[in-house]
Chain A
Amino acid sequence: MAEQVYTQCTVGGPVKVYVENGVIKRMRPIIFDDNDKGGWTIEAKGKKFSDPRRTTLNPYVVGERMRVYSENRIKYPYRRKNFNPNGERHPELRGKDEYVRISWDEALDIVAGEIKRIRETYGPAAITAMASSHHNWGLLYYKMGPYPRFYNILGYTELLDNPDSWEGWHWGAIHAWGYYWKLGHSDNFDILGDALQNTEQVMFWSVDPNTSAGGYCAQDTTIWRHWLRELGIQRVFIDPYCNATAAHVGEKWIALRPGTDAAMAEAIAYVWINEGTYDKWFVENRTVGFEQFKAHIVGEDDGIPRTPHWAARICDVPAHTITALAREWAAKKTMLACGAMYGTGGACRSAYATEWARLMVLLIAMQGLGKPGVNIWGGVGMGAPLDFNFNMPGYASAGWDAFATVAKHPAFPDRNTVTQKVYRILLPEAILNPPIHWHGEGFCGQYFDQNLKPMTYPEPGPNGAEIKMIHRHGGSFISTMTDTSRWVRMYQSPKLEFVVMQDCHWQSETRFGDVILPASTNFEHMDLSEWTAAGGYGHGNAGTNHRVMIFQHKCIDPLWESKPDWQIYRALADRLGFLEEYDEGNSEEEWMRKIFDYSDLPKHISYEDFKKKGYFVVPLPDDYKPTVSNRWFYEGRPCDTPDPLNPNLGTDRSHLLATYSGKIEFVSESLTKFDDNDKERPPLPRYIPSWEGYNTRKLTKKYPLQMITPHVRFSYHTHHDNKNIWLEDIPQHRIKKDGYSWWPVRIHPLDAEKRDICHGDIVKVYNDRGAVLGIAFVTERIRPGTIHSYQAGAKYDPLEPGNPGSIDKGGCMNLLTPSRLISKNAPGMANNSCLVEVCKWEV
C-alpha cells in the first residue's frame, strides 16, 4: 500500500507520521508551508530575529515509533495469578507475582464487579483513581478526558496532585506576588521581545530549559538562548550542576550547595541595600513591608547581617563572588530566569523551598519587576509573540472533564458526589496509617487562600471512607515521587483490596496491579489538541514559537489487544449502567467536532480542511501589539495582558497584583493572617537550614554527600525511558556495561577518588531509605560534595522483586529521597534535600 502521512502530537512536539502497509515507518517534525501563518520578527539592537518556520521535536519523541512498537507494550489484559476476586487476594504478593492472560470480558467484568462491590460495601469514597503526565497526548481522549469523566460521574475520591515540578513557587511565591491562578509562577507575555530589545543579562537560577522546556514545548526555544549569546547578553547560571543549558550558553557558573539558594538571595539583597543599588521608587510604590525586610537583612532583628561572608560559609561560594554577582545584577538590566513550569532545576523542590521562591520575587522587585528588560522570565522558555485571544481549550481548561466545555452535562466540578479528597504525595501514609492532614487542595488555582485550606483524609463524617481501590491510569510514581518504596509497601497492604493498572507500557508500578488493562497509544485512535497547551492554569504559558492546533489522525489500528482508553471506560460505564450519560451518544469524532466548533478554528478553516491538513498555525493579528508581563503593574495601569483568569480584571484593582495588599509583599499579609508564628514559612522569608542538608550533622556523618535529582533530559518523566531502547545509546541517559543499561550518577573527581571510584564503575548510592545502583560518571560539572542523578528512571528493577527494601538496579533515585514535605504547612516534595553515600559496587 502506498505511504500515508498523518499528523499527530506528543508531549515532545507534533509529528508527521509516515505509515506503509499499516506500519509506522518514521515520524518527522512539521515544516510549515507557504500557507501557514503565525510568523513574527522581533527587531532588537540592530538585528532581526524571526520565528523558525517549523515545529521541533524533543529527542525522546524522535524515535517515538520505537515506543509505539516497544516490546514493553502491554499486549493483553492480565489478572495477577494469586489474585482471586472471589477468594484469596494475596496483596502481599503484589510486585512479585506472575500474571495470567485473560480476555477483555473477564477483565472488565472483574473491574466493574469490584467497583460495584466496593461502592456497596464501603461507599463511593473508597475508590480513587489517578493519571500521570504524559504518556500520551490529546485533549479529549487522554488525561483529563476518559478516566476523570468516568469517575466524576461514578463518584470517587479525587486524588489531588501536588504541584510537583514547581513546589516552592506554588506554596511560597503566591504569598509574595499573587498569581495563584498560575499556581505561583508568573506569566511570560511578550517577554522574548522585551528581553532581546532591552535586557543586558540573564540570571538562570536553578533552571535548565534545554532539559526541561522540552516537556510540552520540544526544542522550540533552544535557539532563543543562542540569540542571547548573539546579542552579547551576559548569561549567569546558579546551580550546583553545570546543567545542559549552562554547558551550551553559560558564561559564568556559580555552583552553590543544594538547598542554600535562599541564603545567596539574602546576601544579594544585603549588597543592594548596603550600596543603595536597588529600585527605590519601585520598592516604595509597588511593594509593602520593605522596611521590615531591610531591617532583617542588615541584622537588626536577630543580630545576623545577611552579608556575602555570612552566605559564603553556607553556600560554599566565595564572598567576593557573591558580591560580584550582586553588583553585576544591579549594574545591568537583568532578567531573572526561573519559575514557570521550568522551575525544575531543583531549588524549588527542597526543604523550605518556599523561602527561595519568595526571595526570587523579592529580588526582582528590588530591581523593578516589569520595567523594560527586567522581569521573571520562566526559564527563558516562554514569551514569543502569540495570539492568546484565539480560543482553543487546553487539556486542563475544563478541569477534570475535558468534555465539559461541550458536554450537555459536564462531569466537573459538580457531578462527583464524593467530597473526600486524598493527596498524592501522602497516598501511602493515607492508605497505611490514616488519618492524614495537610493544607491546600492540590493545584490551588481557584482562589488565593486555596493553598491554605486545611484538609483531612478520611473525611470526617458519613461521606468519608478509607480507600480500598486504586485505578492507576498511566505512568509511575515509583521513581518520581519521593521515598518511593512507600508505594511498594502501600500496594502490598491488605487495606487495598483491588488495584487496576491501565497503561500502554509495563511501567515500574504496573506489576503491582491485580488487573492490568492494555491501553493504546494516541497513535492508535483519533483526537485533537493544541500543541503544548495545558489551558486552565497553564493559560498563556506556551513555550513555543507558534500556537499550533493538531488534528490527531488515527495512524494504525490498536496494537495487540490494546484498546483506546476511551473505549475501556465506555465498556466499564456500560457495565455500570451509565454509558449514555458518559458519552452522551456521541461518537469519538462527534465530540471532536463539538470542540472544533467551540473553538476559534472555524473562523479560519473548515473542519474538513483541518482534518485533511492535520494542523493549523494560529495567525497573529495584523495589529498585534506586545503586552509585556508585569509592565502594566510597573506603570501602575490596568492589566493589559491576555490573562482572563486574573481576578482583578474589570475591577478597581485591575492595576494591582492578586496579593491581599495588591502589591509585592516583602512581609506576606496572607501568611501573617494564616500563621504569623510559622517558623518554617514565616511572613518574612529567609534562608532556613535544611532538615536534610549539608549541615545536618546527625546525618552527614554517615551520608556526607548531597544528592540532587533534577528532571530527566532524555525522557518525559518515566514515559520514554525503558520503552524506546534507542535512548539507551545516549551516554548522558544510560550507559551499557556488562549487558545492562545503567543510570548515570555524576560525581566530582575529588569525591570519586576518595572512594576509589573511576568513570564507568558500577556504584551503589544509598542512605537509610534504600539503595540504588548506577554507573559513575566522573565529571567536573558537579560541585564537590554533591551527586547528580536525574530522576524518573523508568526501570524499577529490584534485586529482590517485591521486597520494598531491595536494592534497585534500574536507577530509581527517588527511592532515596525524603518523604518529609517542604515544611509543616507547605506540603510539597523536597526531592533535592537528600543525603547519601556512594561506594563502588563490585558484583
Chain B
Amino acid sequence: MAKYGMIVDITKCTGCYNCFLTCRDEFAGNEYPGYSAAQPITGMNWIRLIERERGQYPVVKVAYIPVTCMQCEDAPCIKVAQEKAVYERSDGIIIIDPVKAKGQKQIVSGCPYRVIEWNEEKQLPQKCTFCAHMLDQGEKVPRCVESCPTDALIFGDLDDPESEISKLLASGATEVLHPEFGMKEKVRYISLPKKFIAGTVIYGDVDEVAVGLTVKLSSNGDSLSTKTNGFGDFEFEGLADNIDYNLVIEAPGYKSRSIKVKTMKDVSLGEIVLKK
C-alpha cells in the first residue's frame, strides 16, 4: 500500500497557474461521489499560489509558493470534525466526507493553512483530495502534478525508498511550510525563499565595477563570504529572518566599507561605491 506525499520545488515554479486552473477544471461543476461534491463553477481555490516579490529595484526576485492541503499526519481538521466526517485513508490522503461533513463550518477554521474552503451552495467544507478519485482508477498522479510543465510538483509513495519523493526527503533538502504547527505535513518544500542581501560594488575613482572582490557577511556566530561577479554583483541567499548582519567590503587601496543590515526583508543594497 502506498503512502502518498508531495514535494514542491520552488525553484521550478514559474507562477503559471496551471495547477490552480487544472484543479478548477477537474472539480468545478464535477462531482465525485464519496470523494468530493462539485465545486461551484468558480470561486474555490483548492490549490493557490502565493506570489512573493523579493528585494528592491533593480535586484528583484519572485518566488511562487503553491499551497494546498498538506495532508497532515496529525491533522487538526480530523480532530474538529464531528461524526468522523474527516478521515485519513490508508494511503495517507485526508478526505472530507461530502455527505457527513455537511453543515460543519468549524472544519474550515480548523486548518491553520486555511486550505479548507466553504462551499456555500452545498453547505460543505471542501479541500484538495490529491485527486483520490483518479488515483483509485489507476492514474499515477493528481491533475495539478500532471499539468505542471516543469515538474515543480513531485508526487509519489513515501513508503517506497526508491521513489523520487523518498530520495528527496532522505536528502534533507525538504522542509515544511510552517514547522511551528507541528502537524507532520506530507506536503513539503524545496527552496522556500528565505532572505537575501545583495549589492553591487563599484570602484569610485575609475567608475568601474569591482570584479572578483571578496565580500564578507557576519552575525553573531555566523561568518559567510562570497566574491563579486563580472557585474560587480554579490549575493548572500538563504539567510534567516530578522538577523543583524555586518557586511564588510575591503579592497587594497580603498577605504573599507562596513554596512549594517537587518534581514527584516530581502535587502538590495544597490551600488556600494569604494573610495580611495
Which of the segments B12-20, B154-162, B218-226 contacts the partner chain? Answer: B12-20
Closest to A221 in B: B149
Least distance between A514 CB and chain B CB atoms (Å): 34
B24, CB-defined interface residue at 8 Å: yes
B209 to A62, Cβ gap below 8 A?
A: no
A556, CB-defined interface residue at 8 Å: no
Point out the residues of chain B lying under 8 angstroms from A229, CB to CB.
Answer: 11
B173, CB-defined interface residue at 8 Å: no
A324 to B230, Cβ gap below 8 A?
A: yes
Point out the residues of chain A lying under 8 angstroms from B45, CB to CB.
Answer: 729
A351 to B21, CA, bound (A): 38
Point out the residues of chain A lying under 8 angstroms from B208, CB to CB.
Answer: 320, 323-324
A434, CB-defined interface residue at 8 Å: no
B51 to A62, Cβ gap below 8 A?
A: no
A65 to B25, Cβ gap below 8 A?
A: yes
Q: Which of B204-238 contact A (CB under 8 A)?
A: 207-209, 211, 230-233
A220 to B151, CA, bound (A): 11
**Interface readout for A18-35 with B: 1 if CB under 8 Å, 0 if not?**
000000011111010000
B17 to A780, Cβ gap below 8 A?
A: no
A813 to B20, CA, bound (A): 27
Which of the segments B57-65, B91-99, B249-257 contacts the partner chain? Answer: B57-65
Which of the segments A247-255, A290-298, A382-390, A406-414 contacts the partner chain? Answer: A247-255
Point out the residues of chain A lying under 8 angstroms from B25, CB to CB.
Answer: 26-27, 62-63, 65
Least distance between A569 CB and chain B CB atoms (Å): 32
B271, CB-defined interface residue at 8 Å: yes
- The B contact surface, by secondary structure, is mixed
Q: Which of A709-740 contact B (CB under 8 A)?
A: 714, 725-726, 729-732
A226 to B11, CA, bound (A): 8
Q: Which of A11-48 contact B (CB under 8 A)?
A: 25-29, 31
A714 to B43, CA, bound (A): 18
B21 to A780, Cβ gap below 8 A?
A: no
A779, CB-defined interface residue at 8 Å: yes
Which of the segments A124-132, A325-333, A366-374, A609-617 contacts the partner chain? Answer: A325-333
B242, CB-defined interface residue at 8 Å: no
A320 to B21, Cβ gap below 8 A?
A: no
A782 to B61, CA, bound (A): 12
Point out the residues of chain A lying under 8 angstroms from B28, CB to CB.
Answer: 726
- Total chain B interface residues with beta-carbon distance under 8 A: 45
A784, CB-defined interface residue at 8 Å: yes
A223 to B150, Cβ gap below 8 A?
A: yes
Given known A253-B59, A321-B209, contact A222–B18 (CB-CB < 8 A): no
Point out the residues of chain B lying under 8 angstroms from A726, CB to CB.
Answer: 21, 24, 28, 42
A373 to B143, CA, bound (A): 38
Given known A25-B30, A210-B14, contact A247–B22 (CB-CB < 8 A): no
A780 to B16, Cβ gap below 8 A?
A: no
A242 to B149, CA, bound (A): 21
Q: Which of A296-343 contact B (CB under 8 A)?
A: 318-321, 323-325, 327-328, 331
A328, A729, A730: the one within 8 Å of B42 (CB): A729
A725 to B43, CA, bound (A): 10
Given known A57-B18, A726-B24, contact A247–B57 (CB-CB < 8 A): no
Least distance between B93 CB and chain A CB atoms (Å): 20
A25 to B59, CA, bound (A): 44
Point out the residues of chain A lying under 8 angstroms from B20, CB to CB.
Answer: 729-730
A781, CB-defined interface residue at 8 Å: yes
A328 to B233, CA, bound (A): 12
Least distance between A47 CB and chain B CB atoms (Å): 16
A780 to B60, Cβ gap below 8 A?
A: yes
A327 to B14, CA, bound (A): 30
A28, A210, A319, A324: the one within 8 Å of B16 (CB): A210
Q: Which of B175-226 contact A (CB under 8 A)?
A: 200, 202, 207-209, 211
- Total chain A interface residues with beta-carbon distance under 8 A: 56
Q: Which of A33-82 contact B (CB under 8 A)?
A: 52, 56-59, 62-63, 65
A218, CB-defined interface residue at 8 Å: yes
A244, A781, A783: the one within 8 Å of B15 (CB): A244
A748, CB-defined interface residue at 8 Å: yes
A219, CB-defined interface residue at 8 Å: yes
B30 to A781, Cβ gap below 8 A?
A: no
A218 to B16, CA, bound (A): 11
Least distance between B140 CB and chain A CB atoms (Å): 9
B15, B26, B42, B57: the one within 8 Å of A725 (CB): B42
B18 to A59, Cβ gap below 8 A?
A: yes
Point out the residues of chain A lying under 8 angstroms from B30, CB to CB.
Answer: 25-26
A222 to B15, CA, bound (A): 12
Point out the residues of chain B lying under 8 angstroms from A782, CB to CB.
Answer: 57
B12, B26, B60, B209: the one within 8 Å of A242 (CB): B60
B55, CB-defined interface residue at 8 Å: yes
**Interface readout for A458-500 with B: 1 if CB under 8 Å, 0 if not?**
0000000000000000000000000000000000000000000
A318 to B21, Cβ gap below 8 A?
A: no
**Interface readout for A94-136 with B: 1 if CB under 8 Å, 0 if not?**
0000000000000000000000000000000000000000000
Q: Which of B23-61 contact A (CB under 8 A)?
A: 24-26, 28, 30, 42-43, 45, 51, 53, 55-61
A57, A319, A748: the one within 8 Å of B57 (CB): A748
A244 to B15, CA, bound (A): 8
A244 to B51, Cβ gap below 8 A?
A: no
B16, B56, B62: the one within 8 Å of A59 (CB): B16
A780 to B53, Cβ gap below 8 A?
A: yes
B104, CB-defined interface residue at 8 Å: no
Point out the residues of chain B lying under 8 angstroms from A255, CB to CB.
Answer: 57-58
A319 to B149, Cβ gap below 8 A?
A: no
A245 to B12, CA, bound (A): 11
Point out the residues of chain B lying under 8 angstroms from A244, CB to CB.
Answer: 14-15
B149 to A220, Cβ gap below 8 A?
A: yes
**Interface readout for B1-19 with A: 1 if CB under 8 Å, 0 if not?**
0000000000110111110
B26 to A327, Cβ gap below 8 A?
A: no
Closest to B45 in A: A729
Least distance between A168 CB and chain B CB atoms (Å): 24
A556 to B24, CA, bound (A): 21
B51 to A780, Cβ gap below 8 A?
A: no
B62 to A781, Cβ gap below 8 A?
A: yes
B18, B51, B58: the one within 8 Å of A732 (CB): B51
Point out the residues of chain A lying under 8 angstroms from B202, CB to CB.
Answer: 318, 320
Q: Which of B122-169 contact A (CB under 8 A)?
A: 143, 146-147, 149-151
Point out the residues of chain A lying under 8 angstroms from B209, CB to CB.
Answer: 320-321, 323-324
A320 to B232, Cβ gap below 8 A?
A: yes
B149 to A780, Cβ gap below 8 A?
A: no
**Interface readout for B231-267 with A: 1 if CB under 8 Å, 0 if not?**
1110000000000000000000000000000000000
A254 to B207, CA, bound (A): 17
A382 to B11, CA, bound (A): 22
A328 to B147, Cβ gap below 8 A?
A: no
Least distance between A212 CB and chain B CB atoms (Å): 13
B230 to A223, Cβ gap below 8 A?
A: no
Given known A252-B231, A730-B17, A780-B55, contact A226–B150 (CB-CB < 8 A): yes
Which 8 pairs across A and B sit closest by C-beta, in order of nearness? A219-B149, A247-B62, A62-B21, A328-B230, A56-B149, A780-B57, A324-B209, A248-B14
Q: List 26 A-B contacts (CB under 8 A).
A: A27-B25, A29-B147, A63-B21, A210-B16, A220-B149, A229-B11, A242-B58, A242-B62, A247-B14, A248-B14, A252-B231, A253-B58, A320-B202, A320-B207, A320-B208, A321-B200, A324-B211, A328-B230, A328-B231, A714-B17, A726-B28, A729-B42, A729-B43, A729-B45, A748-B57, A780-B60
Residues of A within 8 A of B (CB): 25-29, 31, 52, 56-59, 62-63, 65, 210, 218-220, 222-223, 226, 229, 242, 244-245, 247-248, 250, 252-255, 318-321, 323-325, 327-328, 331, 714, 725-726, 729-732, 748, 779-784
List 18 additional A-B contacts (Cβ < 8 Å) besides A26-B25, A226-B12, A242-B58.
A26-B26, A29-B146, A62-B21, A63-B24, A219-B14, A222-B16, A222-B149, A223-B151, A226-B11, A247-B14, A247-B60, A323-B208, A324-B208, A324-B231, A726-B28, A730-B17, A781-B53, A781-B57
